[in-house]
Every structure is written in structure tokens, then in C-alpha cells.
Amino acid sequence: MLLSDQDRAMLTGRSGEAVRTAMELLIAVAESEEAPALLDISAAHIDGGLYHGEAGLDFARGLVDGGGRVVVPTTLNVSSLDLLHPELYRGDPATAKAARALMEAYVAMGCAPTWTCAPYQLVSRPGPGDQIAWGESNAIVFANSVLGARTARYGDFLDICCALTGRAPATGLHTDEGRRATLLVDLEVPDRMLDDDLFYPALGHALGEIAGAEVAVITGLDGRAGEDRLKSLGAAAASSGAVAMFHVAGVTPEARTVAAATHHRAPSRQVTLGIPDLIRARESLNHGEGPLGAISVGTPHFSVHELDHLGRMVAGKVSKVPFYVNTSRDVLDEFEHTGSIAAIEAFGATIVTDTCTYITPIMGDVDGRVMTNSAKWAFYAPGNLGVGVVFAGLEACVSSAVSGRVEIGEVW
């Protein structure tokens, strides 16, 4: 693999022990991927701030002790704690202490304490063609697909290595060839379904199962597939599969046409998705039986638009079950100036920032199933929390909260 003079200098420890360690790890991964060289990145998003055990904390502290400082603008993914609402944490105090220490270690390296899985909702976000190193599966697929930025699936702890060195392997989705669609997905559904928010995460769940790690181009969608809907589609596909990028013909930036997405080459395979496929995907996300125990929305983190929409839906109503809304501190700060926050609080909802209810002990013991409008939450929560799940649209979540029982309503 070709290394620049700067790469070699970092390997010698000229920029400190942390950078030397990061470069060694980065080169080892790049060589395993047969990358011809490394490339410069302009930003990073770090997934390592979520506490999974002492090893992760030791690694981060080692980088801090070695003088590690990020050299590109770097944001932080969700953590294990809600620092704005610390009273919500119901876990072991020793774990909370270690989790906070991990968060502090990444901030000490110069990362911005954004604590969100949706960094694309921040004021500053990458644009088409920008080379970045992002962790967190839904952020990765959104950056590649919707923003047109370029990132591989960086996880713990390669993302911080890229941020400390400003470099990433020049391979895969960082390259033109790696972004070419090889799977064509034709949608055959009634036009009315494109107005249904629940359709998009169900489609994403089906896409993930079909695509795996392939780059797909989808036909049959239009301008109604806005950012929030594409967010839910991508998050679902990155959960049920290893999708890091998809194209939507006529909608996403690198897919003006199907031919543009496939680089004017025939796709390797083609599938058609209809209503039966989407019904199966939707129903597969329902787990267990029992009464309604709680509701959780905002996975990935709710945007200002989604919070405002929820505020209008719940105005004048009161929830009979615990209702959790996950969002980022930046979005919440912006949203608090709109006035709709009062309606959500009067509804009885608990706002969660910095983390998410499916990865940290906030909900406690739930007597019954948890309802969610997120395919990602529905996919992970049964294993993470041991709860049953009802997957439904936001309108159904609100009506169920008001009645205190599961109310799905009429769906396709």
C-alpha cells in the first residue's frame, strides 16, 4: 500500500503515541481491504462513546494519555447516558460512572459533545463528494445515500483512528466504483402508499434483508421521499442488513436515473417488491403478546420537523402509558423555541437526549409490549431489552397512548 510522507511520519510517532497507534491500526485495516492508499477526510463521527465495557474505556484513555487530538471536525454518536436528564438512568451506578468517563475521554480528544445518532441534522454537515469517516449505521447510510458524502462503515474503534490522523482507506464507498448500484429494486405499490410514513421503514427492513451489503437503486419513489422518510428507510436497511448506501432513482443525488446509479452497466440482479413483501416486512417486526406497556419514538433521533409534527398531533391530549421521545440536544434546543414543546410535555411524554431507549436502561421494567414507529428500534429492542414490540405508525402510537391500549387502525 502506498503511504505518503505524512503517513510515514505519523507511523514514527512524530505526532505522538496516540497518532502512531491510530495509524498502525488504520494501515492494518486498509491492507486487509486491499486499499491502494489512504485518503484525506474532512470530518468524522465517532461511535465509540457508547459504553460496552472496560476495554473501550481503556482504549480511549490510552489515546488521551498518548496526546490524541482529532485533526478534523468530529462529532459524537449517542452515549450511554442522558446528561441533560441524568435522573432518567436506571442502571448500575458503577456502569454510569464508567460511561461518563468514556464520554469525557472522547471530548478530551477534541470531539464535539453532540451525542446524536443523526449528525446529518446538525447545522454543519458534509456535502456531495466530501470524504468523511462516520460511525453509526443509520448515519453512514444517510451520509452516502442522501447527502452524497463518502464514508465506509466505520465502527469502534476505527472511526477515532481516522479522526486522529485525518486519513481513511481509499477503497469501497470512498470510490466511484464502490458506489455503483449492482441491485435494482422495482417497487410495485399503489401511489397512496408513498404518503404513508410507515411504508418507508417497512421498505427499508425489506431492502436490508434483500441487499445485505450490496448497493441498490430503487425505482417507484418520488419527491415525497423527503429526508425524514429516507432516514427511516436507511436506518431500517442498515439494521436488517449491512446496507451502507442505496440510491433512489430521480431522488437521491447520484441517481438522476437508474443508468446513472448503475454507471450505465447492467445490474447484477433485479427484484420486485409489492404489497405482500412489505406486509411481511412490517409484520416481522412485531414481537410477543400482551397489553401496551410503553411507547418509544425517535430512533434515529427525531428532527425538528418530526418533533413539531408530534407536538401538533398530541396537543390537548394526555398519554395513559409512558411515552418516550428520543432526540438530540441540538435539535431540542432549536425546537424549544417553537412552542410545540409545551404540548409534548403536557401530553406526558418523556424527552430523552444524548442516548436512546433501546440501548440504555431508561424505560425500566415494562409491563407489556412497547409500541414504536421505528423499524430499527423494533429490530433491536427484543434482544437488547427483552421486550415485546408493536411496530406501527406515529398516528397509531399517539392514539394508542391516549386510549392506553394497542390501536393499529387500518393499514395496507
Structural domain spans, the chain: 5-174, 177-274, 285-403
> What mean pLDDT do residues 215-220 have?
98
Instruction: Report the percent of the chain where pLDDT is more than 70.
Output: 100
- Average pLDDT of the chain, as a whole number: 97
> What mean pLDDT do residues 204-209 have?
98
Q: Supply the pLDDT for residue 204.
A: 98
Q: Supply the pLDDT for residue 150.
A: 99
List the CATH code of the domain at 285-403: 3.30.499.10
Q: How confident is the model at residue 337 (pLDDT cuts 50, 70, 90)?
A: confident
The answer to whether residues 154 and 133 touch, using CB atoms and an 8 Å cutoff, is yes
Identity of the amino acid at 272: T
Nearest to 295 by CA among 401, 402, 376: 401
Tens of pLDDT, residues 16-47: 999 999 999 999 999 999 999 999 999 999 99
Higher pLDDT, 282 or 411: 282
| Cα–Cα distance measured from residue 352 to residue 322, given in angstroms and rounded to the nearest whole number | 12
Q: Do domains 5-174 and 285-403 have the same CATH topology?
A: yes
Q: Supply the pLDDT for residue 338.
A: 73
> What mean pLDDT do residues 198-223 have?
98
Q: Supply the pLDDT for residue 174.
A: 98
Q: How confident is the model at residue 336 (pLDDT cuts 50, 70, 90)?
A: confident
Cβ-count burial 365-399 (b if 16+ within 10 Å, e if not):
ebebbbbbbbbbbbbbbbeebebbbbbbbbbbbbb
Nearest to 60 by CA among 45, 71, 47: 47
Q: Supply the pLDDT for residue 378.
A: 98
* 83: Cα separation from own chain's centroid: 20
Burial class for 107, CB neighbours closer than 10 Å (0-12, 13-18, 19+): middle
Q: Supply the pLDDT for residue 409.
A: 84
Q: How confident is the model at residue 276 (pLDDT cuts 50, 70, 90)?
A: very high
How do beta strands 38-40 and 167-169 pair? antiparallel
**DSSP percent split of the chain into helix, strand, coil, nearest 5:** 40, 15, 40
Q: How confident is the model at residue 375 (pLDDT cuts 50, 70, 90)?
A: very high
> What mean pLDDT do residues 266-283 have?
98
| Cα–Cα distance measured from residue 140 to residue 85, given in angstroms and rounded to the nearest whole number | 27
Rg for the chain, CA atoms, rounded: 21
With a cut of 80, say whether residue 81 has pLDDT above it: yes
> What mean pLDDT do residues 358-367 have?
94
Does CATH number 3.30.499.10 belong to domain 5-174? yes
Q: How confident is the model at residue 219 (pLDDT cuts 50, 70, 90)?
A: very high
> What mean pLDDT do residues 55-62 have?
98
Q: What is the DSSP letter of 2?
A: B
Tens of pLDDT, residues 99-129: 999 999 999 999 999 999 999 999 999 999 9
With a cut of 80, say whether residue 362 has pLDDT above it: yes
Q: Supply the pLDDT for residue 357.
A: 98
